[in-house]
Structure 1
Amino acid sequence: MNVKLSPRPINFNMNLYLSEGYELLKKEFVNIALATFLCLIMSIIPFCGFLAMGNLYKYLRDVKNHRPSSPGDIFNFDNFSTYFILQLIMIAGLFVLFIPMFFIFPGIMLLQNEIAGIGAGIFGFLYMIFIFVALFYFVLKGFYIPALFSLKGITDIKTAWKMSKIMTKGNLLMIFIFSIIVLILSQIGAIACGIGVLVTMPYMYTTHYIAFEDALKQIEYDEITEIGIKEKY
């Protein structure tokens, strides 16, 4: 089947993702919890955090579709270079955002004029707000990049970013609320009991996987079927 992707704004169904994520976790709790634990272990290795997460989403796809799989599949380094480059770009972007701060704070320390010091302090505060907003924007607009990388094999970061921007159009608030809810639920185990994170953390990944799967289905189209429809009409 020649399936291609046609990016468009996604119909974001948060309730579906939360409920089906729970159902998926309930059916394969032991294996998914083990895979999540291995993902956390692999994330300790420098520059392997995103790779581990991508492999976990592939594993969840196999589990949901009843394909032969094993939690040990998390330790797969086939796409290391793609995720490595992505992390380098993110680090470079953060460095660029924080460059002005390297001059603002030393400047505040050197200024003897009280008014000038207050002005520099206000500017530094506003710039920190700008960084906070910018980071949230890029994280939310890039919400579907992990899915495009791990589940669709896209290796060009610029292409994945453009597609994710289109897919998240009009859904930033819903994605933000969804992310906050899932984050809170995933941290309950860590707050209540350290070992509980192995119960709640997998839920974060299963809900995200369901969200990714639903979004990718919405932008897929079968080129062969489309040709047949055109010929029919």
Structure 2
Amino acid sequence: MVKINAKPVNFKLGDYISNGFDFLKNNFGDVFVAFLLCMIMGIIPFCGFLGIGNFYRYCRDLRAGKQVSAGDIFNFDNFMPYFILQLILIGGVMLIYIPMIAMMPLMADRDPSAGLPVFFIMYVLAIYIAIIIVCLKGFYMPALISLGGITDIKTAWKMSLTMTKGNLLTIFLYSLVVSILAQLGIIACFIGLIFTLPLMYVCHYFAYEDAMKQVTYDEIQEIGIKNEF
């Protein structure tokens, strides 16, 4: 049985990007088809996160040399955790917009030339920063759900909090770099997107794979090692 011992992860920014590039280059056909199906899953209501999670599992099995099929992207085993996560996100967005809607009548009476009220700008800025922090702290939740088998959202959140401890700035820089790489395809008249967009998700997979290796151990193997001594 594989156990998870959540602890701060040694984040290897450069390794994830280089390993992701090599893996995508060597398996481009398989990964690209799986990525396209992942995008199709995103069209289905409440299945976008599930498709991405299944893409990570596909990359894991492909990397391990297992028999894989692009149809694995349409696996619904982890539907409920991602469904609940998306409901939480929708609820959070609604809570964010309620104060903004309440401010609109006040803003409508203002002179447009006066610009936006300071308190409105401060509110939007605070919300933006809060969203970034929450996303960074929950960075490992997809890995814990799809690769670690954690189906309880609260447990996955607490584990991710521990795993990201001390790494928020590094994870932010990594996410920024990977996002820029993904957008480079637009500069190449959109043709480059067929490589750079899958690259972003593959790099995420390597970040998740390494993190799971650092926080998991096989209880059965550990018992066997102890018995040898």
Contact 2:78 2:145 in 1 (8 A): no
Alpha-carbon deviation of 1:196?
A: 2.1
Query: Residue 76 of structure 2: SS of its match in structure 1?
Result: coil
The RMSD of aligned alpha carbons is: 2.2
Identity between Structure 1 and Structure 2 (%): 53
1:24 corresponding residue in structure 2: 23
1:89 corresponding residue in structure 2: 88
**CA–CA separation in structure 2 for the residues paired with 1:56 and 1:157:** 19
1:121 corresponding residue in structure 2: 117
Contact 1:105 1:124 in 2 (8 A): no
Give unmatched runs, 5+ long, in structure 2: none
Give unmatched runs, 5+ long, in structure 1: none
Q: Which one of the candidate residues 183, 186, 193 is aligned to 2:182?
A: 186
Matched, 1:99 2:95: no
Instruction: State the one-letter code of the partner of 2:142.
Output: P
Instruction: State the one-letter code of the partner of 2:193.
Output: V
Instruction: State the one-letter code of the partner of 1:20.
Output: N
1:157-168 → structure 2 map (5 Å cutoff): 157-168=153-164
Query: Residue 96 of structure 1: SS of its match in structure 2?
Result: helix
Query: Residue 148 of structure 2: SS of its match in structure 1?
Result: coil
Between 102-111 and 173-182, the greater mean CA deviation after superposition: 102-111
1:40-67 deviation per Cα after TM superposition (whole angstroms, max 9, x unaligned): 1221111111011011001000110001
Contact 1:17 1:211 in 2 (8 A): yes
Matched, 1:79 2:78: yes
Matched, 1:57 2:56: yes
**CA–CA separation in structure 2 for the residues paired with 1:127 and 1:232:** 61
User: Number of aligned pairs?
Assistant: 228
Q: TM-score, normalised by structure 1?
A: 0.91
1:7-35 deviation per Cα after TM superposition (whole angstroms, max 9, x unaligned): 00000011111111111111111110111
Alpha-carbon deviation of 1:99?
A: 1.6
Contact 1:48 1:80 in 2 (8 A): yes
Q: TM-score, normalised by structure 2?
A: 0.92
Query: Residue 221 of structure 1: SS of its match in structure 2?
Result: strand
1:184-223 → structure 2 map (5 Å cutoff): 184-223=180-219
Q: Which one of the candidate residues 143, 146, 160 is aligned to 1:147?
A: 143
**CA–CA separation in structure 2 for the residues paired with 1:156 and 1:34:** 30
Contact 1:37 1:198 in 2 (8 A): no
**CA–CA separation in structure 2 for the residues paired with 1:136 and 1:175:** 11
Query: Residue 195 of structure 1: SS of its match in structure 2?
Result: coil
Moved over 6 A (4+): 228-233
2:11 corresponding residue in structure 1: 12
Query: Residue 192 of structure 2: SS of its match in structure 1?
Result: helix
Instruction: State the one-letter code of the partner of 2:68.
Output: S
Contact 1:3 1:222 in 2 (8 A): yes
Alpha-carbon deviation of 1:86?
A: 0.9
Instruction: State the one-letter code of the partner of 1:88.
Output: L
1:40 corresponding residue in structure 2: 39
Q: Which one of the candidate residues 131, 141, 145 is aligned to 2:127?
A: 131
**CA–CA separation in structure 2 for the residues paired with 1:190 and 1:142:** 28
